[in-house]
Structure 1
């Protein structure tokens, strides 16, 4: 099948109006990173994404676990293409409220213990203010001043003096907690630092993708998916993959940038901020069966569309480094889904200061837009 729309034409449109597109992505990212959406408590993110996708999709569904499926039908028969992001962020939850009003908490997802002491937090989706306490510096021993505390040794202060006072604020066991973080633009306004860039940047890109496709012909059916509970086991992707059974999928996620002084970049992590999207060819968590290797035809699609759109693509493998995405789950659901990954680099992962470059995010958008427009033009057979 030959599609009369070309990725060159669409990419040209994006390039000529990149400032406007980046401005929209930035505002959606500002909204999304301001929401509390820890794994298992993604309701507010789901509400936001459903509202924003509805004007541009033919149908938007939310399953019983919170996974969003936005459907856009093409103008000709063709494959079912799934493009996904995840809605959840790492954080904490209320473990117990002590009689004196202090809160004990558990971690949800991969948060470093080094980030805990002396941080401002938001408690519950209402973003009630709290503080992770730290022993007064004047009272610390030399050993205490150097030791990293575990979550079991930490507590949250909400300025209350009793359990009842905290409960009267509306706080319950299991409620989500996140680091309080502002939306900081660097001197270069394309550089944004805040919490939950992983993976709200691609939630914003999904909205923009559906907006870009208004009035554009393509074959097949596009499923724009926002999964839950990625940070705690890639759980939502398995649910949705089995439900949709797409012909192939592109997972959008962030990836650590290795271009900081504390990483041997070229040896360990040759991914740079501002040098375009990354394409993890292979990734997996060391010592586990969680592994993904990009499907060869999906890799060809990504590389071809990057070349057409003049987007620099950073190829990378990350095997045994604790990095994986929903692709590792999708690759083995049902009879196995041909899957690839496109990643926006970001520094300082799983922290309240994740740093992202909108130039890289725009590159992801251009590539996936081209893939949708050319849907059905490539044989998906393995050999």
Structure 2
């Protein structure tokens, strides 16, 4: 199981899929899910919806991930052959200069330029340049040469990053672990369900444009009309020297999946786990002997598709099961594959026990006995 997730992650992180340009990732998901799902469709915006029918009546359960990654897009091609660009999603300015990049799904190589250290003033050597001051060098001498490479305004750009196994082979470092690891988990989940009976219907969904406003979740929520949902995403790990782990971000890689009980960004997005969905996650993590790291993460620029999905279809009860990873939105995101396996085990258990727990927010008892007449 772990090796299969690793191999799928290697494939998926090698693809270019910036928000709005997820076509290569969507193709991969469609091809692989079509082999194991009862039905797979892709809507006009690229959201992938894979269906697996249970063997008995039961709720519609949606398990979702997102296909897009943070990156950039070409703003303009200058006459001298250099390229200026915009951010797509939350990439820190401090990560820009001196990075190798891939342009378009053809992975045309480029470099985000950096002024020679010999020529920098003392002030320049200390200051972080903004995206508006940066440029990409593709080794061209003119705009015409750039266009002849097949590059045009609006094309996606991502950090170039190899798939690196650390000394501990369970630790993987590369770009777009957020959220390609959960795309890999979703494919493996459908394989794991072969030959297993469960009630209801599973909708395995991979949304687009999560990194730029959780847009895909809005597109699919009212279409699928799930009775409840489990959102799969990554979550920052706080187990590094520059974070006060226990006070600010009590999440560790290698200690199991995380479950943000509450998260949100100011007044823009807010998620609070549904009480019955929390019970379901607790029960299945205990049954699978998978530890869960529970936390809240409000006001720290973290949110997921859950914030928008919860508001669709008249309100969807949901919770998040997240894979911890260090170094968010960088070309060196780092995860422990054992945490990904833990996510898979917990979600598989939830599906196999689908429909066994009611989803009432509170218990309501009829205050009229059987022999009393209601007004």
Please tell me the TM-score bracket, short chain as reference: over 0.9
What does residue 62 of structure 1 align with? 42
Q: Please give the alpha-carbon distance, in whole angstroms, between the structure 2 residues aligned to 1:184 and 1:289.
A: 36
Report how far residue 333 of structure 1 moved. Answer: 1.2
Question: Counterpart of 2:292?
Answer: 313
Taking the aligned partners of 2:195 and 2:218, their CA distance within structure 1 comes to 31
In structure 2, the partner of 1:293 is 272
SS at match of 1:188: coil
Q: Which of 112, 118, 122 pairs up with 1:132?
A: 112
Cα displacement string for residues 91-136 of structure 1 (whole angstroms, at most 9, x for unaligned residues): 0000000001000000000000000000000001110000000000
**Alignment of structure 1 residues 51-130 onto 2, 5 Å:** 51-130=31-110
Alignment correspondent of 1:244:
224
Q: Any idea what SS the aligned residue of 1:343 has?
A: strand
- Secondary structure in 2 aligned to 1:307? helix
Alignment-derived partner of residue 23 in structure 1: 3
Q: Does 1:171 align with 2:112?
A: no
Select which of 314, 322, 326 maps to 1:347.
Answer: 326
Distance 1:301 1:334 in 2: 21
1:184 is aligned to: 164
Could you report, residue by residue, the CA deviation over 1:229-278 in whole angstroms, capped at 9, with x for unpaired residues? Answer: 00000000011101001000000000000000000000000000100000
Larger radius of gyration: 2
- Alpha-carbon displacement from aligned partner over 1:158-182 (angstroms, at most 9, x marks no partner): 0000101000110010000000000
Q: 1:154: which partner in 2?
A: 134
Aligned-residue offset at 1:334: 2.4
Which whole-Å CA distance do the structure 2 matches of 1:240 and 1:356 have between them? 29
Match of 2:19 in 1: 39
Q: How big is each residue's C-alpha offset from its partner over 1:9-39, in whole Å with a ceiling of 9 and x where there is no partner?
A: xxxxxxxxxxxx1100000000000000000
Q: Secondary structure at the residue paired with 1:231?
A: helix
In the alignment, which of 225, 234, 238 is matched to residue 258 of structure 1? Answer: 238
User: Residue 309 of structure 1: CA displacement?
Assistant: 0.5
Aligned positions, number: 362
CA distance in 2 between partners of 1:47 and 1:102 (Å): 31
Helix, strand or coil: the match of 1:60? strand
**Which residue matches 1:330?**
309
Q: Which residue of 2 aligns with 1:371?
A: 350
- Structure 1 runs not aligned, ≥5 long: 1-20
Pairwise CA distance, 1:89: 0.1
String of CA shifts for 1:206-240, please: whole Å, max 9, x gaps. 00000000111000000000000000000000111
How far, CA to CA, are the matches of 1:333 and 1:208 in structure 2? 27
Q: What whole-Å deviation, never above 9, does each CA across 1:300-322 have from its counterpart, x for those lacking one?
A: 11010000001010001000000
Q: Counterpart of 1:12?
A: none
Once the two structures are TM-superposed, the CA of residue 297 in structure 1 deviates from its matched residue by 0.5
- Describe the superposition over 1:38-71 as per-residue Cα deviations: whole angstroms up to 9, x where unpaired: 0000000000000011111000000000000000
Q: d(CA) in 2 for partners of 1:155 and 1:238?
A: 34
For 1:186-222, what per-residue CA distance to the aligned partner results, in whole angstroms no more than 9, with x for missing partners?
A: 0110000000000000000000000000111000000
Q: Which residue in 1 is equivalent to 2:373?
A: none
Give the TM-score of the pair, scaled to structure 2. Answer: 0.96
Aligned-residue CA RMSD in angstroms? 0.5
Deviation at 1:365, TM superposition (A): 0.2
Residue 337 of structure 2 corresponds to 358
